[in-house]
Amino acid sequence: MHTDTIGYKIRLLHNQIHKRMEAKRQENEKEPLTGMQRWTLGFLRDHDGKDIYQKDIETEFSVSRATASNMLAVMERKGLVRREAVEHDARLKKLVLTEKARALVDRSEQDMRDMEALLAKGLSEGEIRDLKRYLDQMLSNLDVDVECPKNSFCGGMKNRNTRCCG
């Protein structure tokens, strides 16, 4: 029966996770953000304390200068980022998260931790470790490079027996 297949159960899990996380996102975001805006906030948070510029966003997410510029302008208008001049080059503007954005990222990260805890409920540490190993094997079976640092953006797809993006 198809409902007892691995693919079906993973799809069902995916749908439930997505549905619950989407409800949390809507609850947390007064103004809806695009996926790219959320990824950008996470990237800036992950690199907190470092000078990050528009060019870094373009490179990290493989988007054009115009796309990055437009997205960042919208994020500025929403009060999520500021562009601040740097001392060594007046032409450069580093990107800085606002307190509003930090609070949004904090809530989002807490929602992810809560979801992880819910998914792991009733499983031992060993079972969680085994499950992750099994999932990594399934991804590998599908030619997904689970070691790829940019897995989310390139899909981790290997290209003719090479790493996907580097």
Q: What is the amino acid identity at position 13?
A: L
Q: Which one, of 41, 61, 153, 164, lies nearest residue 106 by Cα?
A: 41
The whole-angstrom separation of Cα 136 and Cα 140 is 6
- In the chain, the domains with their CATH numbers are 2-108 (1.10.10.10), 122-166 (no CATH)
Give CA–CA dist 139/155, Å, rounded.
10
Per residue of the chain (166 residues), give pLDDT as tens. 788 999 999 999 999 999 998 898 888 888 888 889 988 999 999 999 999 999 999 999 899 999 999 999 999 999 999 999 988 888 899 999 999 999 999 998 899 999 999 999 999 999 999 999 999 999 999 988 888 755 554 555 554 444 455 5
